[in-house]
Amino acid sequence: MSQPAPKPAAVRVVEVASEDADQRIDNFLMRHLKGVPRSRIYRILRRGEVRVNGRRIGPDYRICAGDKVRIPPVRTAAGGGGPAPVRPGLEAAILYEDDRYLVLDKPSGLAVHGGSGVSHGVIEALRALRPQARFLELAHRLDRETSGCLLVAKRRSALRAVHELLRGGGVEKRYLALVQGAWQGGPRQVNAPLRKNQLRSGERMVRVDPAGKSAQTWFRPVTVFGQATLVEAHLGTGRTHQIRVHAAHSGHPIAGDEKYGDEGFNRAMRSLGLRRLFLHAQSLAFTEPDSDREIHVSAPLAPDLRAVLDALEQVRAPAPTHSEARSGR
C-alpha cells in the first residue's frame, strides 16, 4: 500500500541572527531547507517565493542581521533529495581541526556540495555527520574529480577572515598533477586569462580568452618519467578549472582529464591503472588574521595515484641487458 505524500511545511519567517549575517541567501536556505537539492532552491529564488523584508532577491544576495527571510513550504521530490547520508569515513578524512576551521582530505568523485544533478556533496554529508554544529560552510571549492585539502569554516567570522585572505592571495594552495610528456625548461608561470562558457548541453567549459579574467598558475616539475611528468602547481588566482586549462594550454594536459585532456594519453595512463583525474590538492597554508597562528595542512597522495607513479617508474627503468641478466646483475 502506497504511503500518502507528506504535507509541505508551512511558510516560515526567519530573522537573521548577527552570527549568520553576510552569507549568501542560497547558502542560508540550504541550512534551513535540509535535504532540498540546490537546484530546487535556485528555482524558488527565481520564482520570487523567497522574500527578504518583503522584497524579491537573487541567489547572490548577502543577508544582514535583522533581515526577515520568508521561506516557502517546500516538498522534496519523491525519490530525490532527502537528508544527506551520513558518511562515517568522512570523520577519518579530517586532517586538521580547531575551533574555527577544519580541513578534509576530499576523495575524488565526491562533489563539494549538492546541485547540477548531485543531491548531496561533502558539505551536506559533513552537516549530517555533525547535526549539532551550528555553522559549517565551504571556504573554497574543489572540482568533483579533484582530491585533497578542502577547507571548511566552523564560524561565520572565520569564513569572512579566510575569504579576505583568499581575495588577497594570503592562502597558499599547492597541487600535484601528472601531465602529458616530458616537461622541459624547469619551473614555468602560465599567465593566461580564462573565460567560462556553457554549452547547449549545460556542460560548463573554460577556455583561454583575452576577454576572460586574469589567471596565473606556477608549475614546477617534480619527476620526469618520459611519457609523463609529475608537477607541482601553485595558484596565483582561483578560477574555475584553472590548473586543468592552464596545463592543457601549456601543452601538458593532465592525465585522466576527460574534458581538457588528450584521449591517447588518457588511454595510456588507464593501462597503468589510472581511473580518475590525476589532480590532488596537496597542501594549503595561511596565517589566521586574528591570532597570527600559522596553519599548514598537507594530504598524502591516495594509494591509487601512488600506484600509477610506481608503474611509471617501472616503465622508465631500463630493462637489464642480456649479459647483465645472465650474470645476475
Alpha-carbon distance 75 to 210, whole Å? 45
Alpha-carbon distance 20 to 27, whole Å? 10
Q: What is the pLDDT of residues 92-127, one digit of tens each?
A: 999 999 999 999 999 998 888 765 555 578 888 888
Alpha-carbon distance 123 to 112, whole Å? 6
- For residues 235-248, give the mean pLDDT: 93
Share of the chain above pLDDT 90, in %: 51
Ramachandran region of residue 169, left (φ > 0), alpha (ψ -120 to 50) or beta?
left
- Quick check: 243 and 217 in contact, CB under 8 A? yes
SS3 label, residue 268: helix
Q: What is the pLDDT of residues 167-199, one digit of tens each?
A: 888 999 999 999 999 999 899 999 999 998 866
Alpha-carbon distance 326 to 320, whole Å? 10
Predicted confidence at residue 77, as pLDDT, reads 47
Predicted confidence at residue 56, as pLDDT, reads 92
Identify residue 210 by its one-letter amino acid code: P
Average pLDDT, the chain: 85
Predicted confidence at residue 78, as pLDDT, reads 42
DSSP-derived pairing of the beta strands 204-208 and 101-106: unpaired
Ramachandran region of residue 263, left (φ > 0), alpha (ψ -120 to 50) or beta?
alpha
Distance of CA 177 to the CA centre of its chain: 15
For the entire predicted model, the pTM comes to 0.76
12-71 and 89-315 in the same fold: no
Lowest mean pLDDT among 15-29, 263-277, 308-322: 308-322
The domains of the chain are located at 12-71, 89-315
- Quick check: 20 and 156 in contact, CB under 8 A? yes
Look up 143 and say whether it is catalytic.
yes
Q: Is the pLDDT of residue 200 over 70?
A: no
Q: What is the pLDDT of residues 208-241, one digit of tens each?
A: 999 999 999 999 999 999 899 999 999 988 888 9
DSSP annotation string for 242-255? HHHHHHHHTT-PBT
SS3 label, residue 177: strand
Q: What is the pLDDT of residues 122-156, one digit of tens each?
A: 888 888 888 888 888 899 989 999 999 999 999 88
Q: Is the pLDDT of residue 263 over 70?
A: yes
SS3 label, residue 175: strand
Q: What is the pLDDT of residues 269-313, one digit of tens each?
A: 999 999 999 999 999 999 988 788 899 999 999 999 999 999 999
Taking domain 12-71, whether its CATH number is 3.10.290.10 is answered by: yes
The crossing angle, in degrees rounded to 10, of helices 25-32 and 38-46 is: 120
Phi, psi dihedrals of residue 166, rounded to the nearest 5°: -60, -40
Catalytic residue among 67, 143, 257, 262: 143
Predicted confidence at residue 24, as pLDDT, reads 84
CATH of 89-315, one of 3.30.2350.10, 3.30.460.20, 3.30.1490.20, 3.40.50.150: 3.30.2350.10
Q: Is the pLDDT of residue 160 over 60?
A: yes
- The more confident residue out of 136 and 320 is 136
Q: Which three cell numbers stand for residue 55?
A: 522584497
Q: What is the pLDDT of residues 30-56, one digit of tens each?
A: 778 876 777 788 889 989 999 999 999
Helices marked H in 141-198 — which ranges? Answer: 156-167
In SS3 terms, 17-61 reads as CHHHCCCEHHHHHHHHCCCCCHHHHHHHHHCCCCEECCEECCCCC
